[in-house]
Structure 1
Amino acid sequence: MATYQPLPFERPIQELEKQLADLNAQENSTPEHAEQIRQLKLEITRLTREIFDNLGAWETVQVARQTGRPQTPDYIELVFDEFVELHGDRAIGDDRAILTGLAKINGRKIMLIGQQKGRTIQERSDCHYGCAHPEGYRKALSRMQMAAKYGLPIICFIDTPGAYPGIGAEERGQAYTIAYNLREMSRIPTPITAVVLGEGGSGGALGIGIADHVAVLQHAYYSVISPEGCAGILWKHVKHADKAAQALKFTSADLLRMGIVDEVIPEPLGGAHRNHRRMAMALKASLTESLKSMDGLSKEELLDRRYEKFRRIGVFEETAIEETLAATDNDPAADADTDAEMTPDANS
C-alpha cells in the first residue's frame, strides 16, 4: 500500500492517531490503560466519520487526488484473479496512461481498460500523469472491439484529470479520437461497466465512459472541467477553484441525484487511501453485481438500454420547463397576469 500525506482537514485525525500510537507503545497492561486506548479509538472513528461525511466539493477533489489513493494497478492486484496486458494501438505506439488487457473476476473472463497516473516521478512521466494521448484512446477502442468479437464484457476504470493537452496530441487528432470513441462505444454490442475511481475529468474521462452501468466511488468526482479550469474561465484565477468546485456539482451525491451515474460505491471510513483492501472488496462486489445484472440481455436490448440511458441525462431541465408551462396554462390567475402585462397602459 502506498504511503500518503494527510490532507489539511485530516490533521486532527492524525494527531489523535499519534496519541494512539504512543499509548500502544507503552508497556502498560492496566485496565485504565486499556480503557484509554478504547476511548481514543472511538474518538478517532467518530471524528473521521464526522469529517468525511461532511466534505465540501473542493475537499472531495483533494481526496480524489490523494497520492495514496488506489489506482488501476492496485485494483488489478486486489480485485482480479488474472490479468494479461495488451499493448499498443497498432498505429503510433503504446500509451501508458491507459492500461488494457484480459482479466478474470470470480472466474469470469472480461476485458479491462483502466487509466493510470503512476506514483513515482518516473511512472508519472511515463503515464503523462494520467492524461492519455490519441493512441491511448485508439488502444482502448481496439480492445473494446476485440471484447465484442469474443463476447466478453468490458470494465473501464476512469481516473484522469483530462486528456493530454499538448500540441502533438492535438496534431494527431485528440478531439476527433475521443469523439470517435464516444460514437463507437455507444454501439459496441457487449456489456460495459465504468467506474470513476478518483478524478473523472472532461472528455479524457468520457472517452472510455460510455457504459451500460456507470458507478463512482464515494469520494471521487466526475466533471465537464477541472475546478481550476472553471475558475480560470469564470473568475480569471485558479485561487477560486473552491468556488468553482461547489458550482460544478460533481460530487458523487450530486451525480447520483442528477442521474449521471447509476451507483455510488461506499469507501472505507476515512477514504479509499486508508484501506486499499477494503475498498477493493467493495468494488469487486459492485462489479460482480453489475455484470450479473446484464446477463441474458440480447444485443438489441443492451444497445437500446444504453441509448435511452444517455438520452435521459438532462431531461430534468426539460421536465421542469414543461411542468412550469403546464402550471401556467392551467392557472387562470397566471393567465390574467399575463394578459395584464400585455395590455397597453392607457396613461403611457
Structure 2
Amino acid sequence: MSERPAFLDFEKPIADLEKKIDELTITAEKSGAKSVRTEVAKLRQKANQALADLYQNLDPWRRTQVARHPDRPHFKDYVEELITDYVELAGDRKFGEDAAILGGLGRFRGRRVVVLGHEKGRTTPQRLKHNFGMARPEGYRKAVRLMDIAEKFGLSVITFVDTAGAYPGLDAEARGQAEAIARATERCLTLGVPMVSVITGEGGSGGAVAIAAANCVLMLENSIYSVISPEGAASILYRSSDRAKDAATAMKITAADLLGFGVIDAIIPEPLGGAHRARATAINSVGNMIEKSLYQLDGLNSQAVRAHRAERFYRIGRTVAEISAPELSAPEDVTHINPT
C-alpha cells in the first residue's frame, strides 16, 4: 500500500473508511478470499464518492486548511518536474542568502526562463531552514536581482507563490522589510518581459504580492490569496482568532471569489481531494496553464508587456469600484476600532 497524505480534521469520515480498507486489504492478501476483495472494492467506491461529495462544495475555511496541507506540491517539486537545466542562484548581493525564496535559470518546455518562488519545506529541519516560506528582505532583494537578470537577457519570469506572509521579525524590519517588498513589487510591475505567477498554496499579504504582480496570475483551485490570514483578520475584526472561519468567509479569499473580482486570471483545477493527493497530476496541470499563458504573451515587445500588465491592475481597481457598497461592507458584529 502506498503512503497516503495526512488527513485533515474535516476528512475524518474518509480517514475511517481508508483505515477499514487497509485492514481488509491485509486480510484479503492473507486469505485470498474473493468475498473480502469484493468488500474492499465496495468500500473503495464508497470512499471515492464520499471524497467527491466532501470536496464538491468546500467552504473558505476548509479550503484554507487544504491550501496549508504540508503535502501539497512545493516550489522544489514544481522545479523538479517542470524546469530542465535548472541552475539555482543564491544571495541578494547586499546582505546574504534567504532560503525562503529560491530561484534560478532554466528551461520550461524548451523556453528559457527565470523561475523563483517560496519554499516552505516539509520536514522540521527543512521548515526551519526555509523559515516556513516567510522571506526576509534579502529574499525579496534576491527576487529583484533575478528579475533584473531576466530583463537583461530577455527571459520570461515564472513565480510560484506559497507563503503565509513576509517574516515579521525584528531583524527583518531592521533591514528594511517594507522597502524590500515595495521594491520587489515595483520590479514586477516594470518588467519588460512576460511574467506569470501561480498561487500554489497560501498567498499571504505583501509577502505574496511582491513576486505576484504579474501579467497573468493563476491560482490552484484550493489555494487562498488574501491581505491577511483568516486568524489575523479574526483577531482584528472580532477580537478572537477562534472566529477564523467567519473571517475566511467574509474576506473572499478563494479562487472563485478572486476570479470574480478580476484579481486572478484563471483557476487551475486540482485532482479529486486536493493537489496533495496527486502531486504529479497537479503539477502537470499547472505546467499546462503556464505554457498557455506564456504563449498568449508571445510577440509582445517590452513596451506592450508593461502596458498589458498595467491595464490588468487598473482593471482590478475598476472592477472592485463597480461592486456595490453593501457587498463590501464589514459584518455587523465586527469590533469597530476607534482610530483615536
**How high is the TM-score relative to the length of structure 1?**
0.88
Give the 3-state SS of the residue equivalent to 2:22 in structure 1: helix
Once residues 208 and 51 of structure 1 are traced to their aligned partners in structure 2, the CA distance between those partners, rounded to angstroms, is 33
Residues 89 and 136 in structure 1, CA contact (< 8 A), matched pair in contact too: yes
Once residues 279 and 320 of structure 1 are traced to their aligned partners in structure 2, the CA distance between those partners, rounded to angstroms, is 33
Once residues 202 and 320 of structure 2 are traced to their aligned partners in structure 1, the CA distance between those partners, rounded to angstroms, is 26
Once residues 106 and 29 of structure 1 are traced to their aligned partners in structure 2, the CA distance between those partners, rounded to angstroms, is 46
Once residues 202 and 272 of structure 2 are traced to their aligned partners in structure 1, the CA distance between those partners, rounded to angstroms, is 19
Residue from 236, 241, 244 that aligns with 1:241: 244
Pair member with larger Rg: 1
Does 2:186 correspond to 1:183? yes
How big is the shift at 1:175?
0.7
Aligned partner of 2:70 in structure 1 is 67
How big is the shift at 1:321?
6.3
Structure 2 residues without counterparts, runs of 5 or longer: 326-340
How big is the shift at 1:295?
1.0
Q: What pairs up with 1:73-222 in 2 under 5 angstroms?
A: 73-222=76-225
- Structure 1 residue runs of 4 or more that deviate by more than 4 Å after TM superposition: 28-34
**How high is the TM-score relative to the length of structure 2?**
0.90
Give the 3-state SS of the residue equivalent to 2:211 in structure 1: coil
| CA deviation vs aligned residue, 1:177-207 (integer Å, no higher than 9, x gap) | 1112222211110000000110100000001
Aligned partner of 1:326 in structure 2 is none
Farther off after superposition, 132-141 or 66-75: 66-75
Aligned partner of 1:20 in structure 2 is 21
**Count of aligned pairs between the two proteins:** 322
Structure 1 residues without counterparts, runs of 5 or longer: 323-348
| CA deviation vs aligned residue, 1:308-333 (integer Å, no higher than 9, x gap) | 000111323433569xxxxxxxxxxx
Farther off after superposition, 9-18 or 223-232: 9-18
Give the 3-state SS of the residue equivalent to 2:190 in structure 1: coil
How big is the shift at 1:52?
1.1
Residues 158 and 196 in structure 1, CA contact (< 8 A), matched pair in contact too: yes
Share of identical aligned residues, percent? 41
**For the aligned residues, what is the CA RMSD?**
1.8
Residues 161 and 202 in structure 2, CA contact (< 8 A), matched pair in contact too: yes
Residues 65 and 199 in structure 1, CA contact (< 8 A), matched pair in contact too: yes
Give the 3-state SS of the residue equivalent to 2:86 in structure 1: strand
| CA deviation vs aligned residue, 1:212-265 (integer Å, no higher than 9, x gap) | 110011111000111111011111121111111111100111111111100111
How big is the shift at 1:21?
2.1
Once residues 141 and 2 of structure 1 are traced to their aligned partners in structure 2, the CA distance between those partners, rounded to angstroms, is 39
Residue from 222, 226, 238 that aligns with 2:229: 226
Once residues 279 and 191 of structure 1 are traced to their aligned partners in structure 2, the CA distance between those partners, rounded to angstroms, is 23
Give the 3-state SS of the residue equivalent to 1:186 in structure 2: helix
Once residues 188 and 319 of structure 2 are traced to their aligned partners in structure 1, the CA distance between those partners, rounded to angstroms, is 25
104 and 233 in structure 1: CA distance in 2 versus 1, 3 angstrom threshold: same
How big is the shift at 1:81?
2.3
Does 2:331 correspond to 1:319? no
Does 2:13 correspond to 1:5? no
How big is the shift at 1:302?
1.2
